[in-house]
């Protein structure tokens, strides 16, 4: 069974001229974006680093130039803007335009791709939430505070694992654009992953071997409707990403993404032709905490906003654990080993609960119960 709130689209609520967001979306006072205003009236604009991924392709660029900048960006910020990605600005504009066109379709057209599915196949009353498709994120309890966004979530790679019944037929341009963007975005991911290994002094296949050739890749199209009182809600709650790396195409006109750094929230600047790469939980684990997945969130405004996000995850059967080469007496293993699939499955429970997957699954060594730690040692 699914929670009754699972079928309520935020876009429909926003279109009904509400004076205020419903109580299901209103944050506790201490959690509200404006709550930081007591000491931070307006979040500071983050001076995030920029990396030219075209220059990262030079194998000789290790320890200097872009590779050094990449390592510094991942260690200091956990994210960076990307230039040299080879995608023309008009192409990126088309991807965002097709995204906007999908979310502006009539509700009945979008509901054809609903993430609430009939599990008995007979048109009965057995329905359940599953990650792929159109709708809102999973609702588990009456107490859960909901995010002010709708989304379309699709597995795009490996190609034979695509569930095309969830791929919208309208607008007609969306599918071919997504297929092309998938290929181009993966090139960015592979190039950054190889350079990340080189920046640590390893062969460029160091991390690629750990994630596999057939990475599980998911696209998330997110629509943030205008909100009548944006200071009361989250567009997307604070979280880290279930990914090795995440590649984001952000709205070029409206900001809203924020990063938690040094005890305060910072605004990520609006990017016009750059992409944004964010370190995910899996690279944090594989690097044994050399690189940290940054906590980030989305705040809303009185303007609609959208984004297209690609999550790159290891092949499900791969072990997710600190790399042996990065473990030693001075830096013991900070995380336990588990299968990538188990980590990915736990993400949805953790996200619904508003927790990091690493914390929810007690992956950190110091989070284990003493008896569990003794058994595993």
Over range 144-171, report the average pLDDT: 97
Query: Which 3 state secondary structure label does DSSP give 258?
Result: strand
Which residues, listed in sequence order, are joined to residue 258 by a DSSP beta bridge?
267, 297
Quote the number of domains for the chain: 1
Question: Which has the closest alpha carbon to 56: 189, 187, 191, 206?
Answer: 191
Greatest Cα-to-Cα distance within the chain, rounded to the nearest angstrom? 62
Neighbouring CB atoms inside 10 A of 60's CB total: 9
The whole-number average pLDDT for the span 164-184 is 98
How does residue 135 score in pLDDT terms, banded at 50, 70 and 90? very high
**Distance of alpha carbon 148 from alpha carbon 256, whole angstroms:** 12
pLDDT (average), residues 75-93: 97
Question: Phi and psi of 290, rounded to 5°?
Answer: -65, -45
Q: Are 38 and 32 in contact (CB under 8 A)?
A: no
Say whether pLDDT at 39 is over 60: no
Q: Does the structure show a pLDDT above 80 at 250?
A: yes
Q: How big is the CA angle at 344 (ends 342 and 350), to the nearest 5 degrees?
A: 100
Q: Which residues pair with 265 in a beta bridge?
A: 260
Q: CA nearest 46: which of 271, 223, 240?
A: 271
φ/ψ bin of 290: left (φ > 0), alpha (ψ from -120 to 50), beta (otherwise): alpha
What is the domain range of residue 48?
Answer: 4-376
pLDDT at 359 over 50: yes
The 8-class DSSP code of residue 267 comes to E
18 versus 167: the higher-pLDDT residue is 167
Q: Which ranges in the chain belong to alpha helices (H)?
A: 10-14, 53-56, 65-76, 89-103, 107-110, 174-199, 206-211, 281-286, 340-353, 357-360, 370-376
What CA–CA distance (Å, rounded) separates 36 from 321? 36
Flag whether pLDDT at 185 surpasses 50: yes
pLDDT band at 240 (very low <50, low <70, confident <90, very high): very high
Mean local confidence (pLDDT), 164-191: 97
Q: What is the CA 287 to chain-centroid distance, rounded? A: 19
pLDDT of 67 reads 83
> Can you give the pTM of this predicted structure?
0.93
Tens-digit pLDDT profile for residues 263-314 = 999 999 999 999 999 999 999 999 999 999 999 999 999 999 999 999 999 9
- Is residue 373 pLDDT above 50, yes or no? no
pLDDT on residue 61: 53
**Residue 43: what pLDDT?**
78
The predicted model gives 133-149 an average pLDDT of 96
Q: Does position 124 have pLDDT exceeding 60, yes or no?
A: no
Give the separation between CA 274 and CA 124, rounded to whole angstroms: 47
Per-residue pLDDT averaged across 333-359, rounded? 95
Identify the pLDDT of residue 56: 86
Asked whether the beta carbons of 293 and 347 are under 8 A apart, the reply is no
What's the CATH number where 125 sits? 2.60.120.330
Short-list 119, 41, 52, CA closest to 81: 52
The residue count for the chain? 377
Whether residue 377 is predicted with pLDDT greater than 50 in this model: the reply is no
Return the SS3 of 242: coil
Q: Are 289 and 334 in contact (CB under 8 A)?
A: yes
Q: Is the pLDDT higher at 201 or at 243? A: 243
pLDDT over 80 (residue 1): no
Question: b/e for 324-346, b at 16 or more Cβ within 10 A?
Answer: eebeeeeeebbbbeeebbebbeb
Neighbour-count burial for 215-240, b at 16+ CB within 10 Å, e otherwise: bbbbbbbbbbbbbebbebbbbbbbbb
Q: Which stretch of 57-61, 216-220, 366-370 has the lowest confidence by average pLDDT?
A: 366-370
- Specify the 3-state DSSP secondary structure of 210: helix
């Amino acid at each position: 069974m699914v929670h009754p709130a699972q079928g309520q689209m935020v876009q429909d609520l926003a279109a009904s001229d509400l004076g205020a967001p419903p109580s299901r979306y209103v944050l506790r006072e201490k959690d509200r974006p404006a709550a930081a205003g007591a000491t931070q009236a307006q979040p500071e604009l983050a001076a995030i680093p920029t990396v030219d991924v075209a220059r990262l392709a030079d194998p000789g660029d290790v320890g200097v130039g872009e590779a050094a900048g990449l390592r510094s960006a991942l260690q200091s910020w956990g994210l960076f803007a990307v230039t040299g990605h080879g995608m023309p600005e008009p192409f990126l504009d088309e991807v965002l335009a097709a995204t906007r066109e999908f979310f502006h379709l009539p509700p009945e057209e979008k509901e054809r791709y609903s993430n609430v599915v009939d599990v008995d196949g007979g048109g009965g009353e057995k329905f359940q939430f599953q990650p792929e498709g159109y709708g809102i994120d999973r609702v588990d309890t009456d107490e859960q505070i909901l995010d002010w966004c709708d989304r379309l979530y699709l597995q795009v790679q490996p190609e034979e694992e695509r569930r095309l019944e969830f791929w919208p037929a309208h607008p007609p341009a969306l599918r071919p654009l997504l297929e092309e963007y998938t290929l181009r975005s993966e090139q960015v991911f592979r190039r950054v992953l190889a350079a990340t290994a080189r920046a640590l002094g390893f062969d460029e296949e160091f991390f690629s071997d750990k994630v596999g050739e057939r990475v599980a890749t998911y696209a998330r199209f997110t629509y943030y409707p205008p909100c009548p009182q944006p200071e009361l809600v989250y567009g997307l709650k604070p979280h880290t990403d279930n990914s090795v790396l995440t590649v984001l195409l952000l709205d070029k006109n409206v900001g809203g993404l924020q990063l938690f750094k040094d005890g305060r929230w910072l605004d990520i600047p609006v990017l016009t032709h750059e992409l944004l790469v964010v370190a995910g939980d899996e690279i944090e684990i594989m690097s044994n905490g050399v690189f940290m997945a940054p906590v980030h969130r989305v705040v809303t405004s009185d303007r609609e906003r959208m984004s297209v996000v690609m999550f790159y995850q290891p092949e499900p059967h791969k072990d997710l654990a600190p790399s042996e080469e990065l473990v030693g007496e001075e830096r013991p293993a900070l995380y336990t080993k588990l299968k990538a699939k188990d980590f990915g499955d736990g993400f949805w429970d953790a996200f619904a609960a508003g927790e990091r997957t690493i914390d929810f699954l007690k992956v950190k060594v110091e989070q284990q119960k003493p008896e569990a730690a003794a058994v595993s040692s």
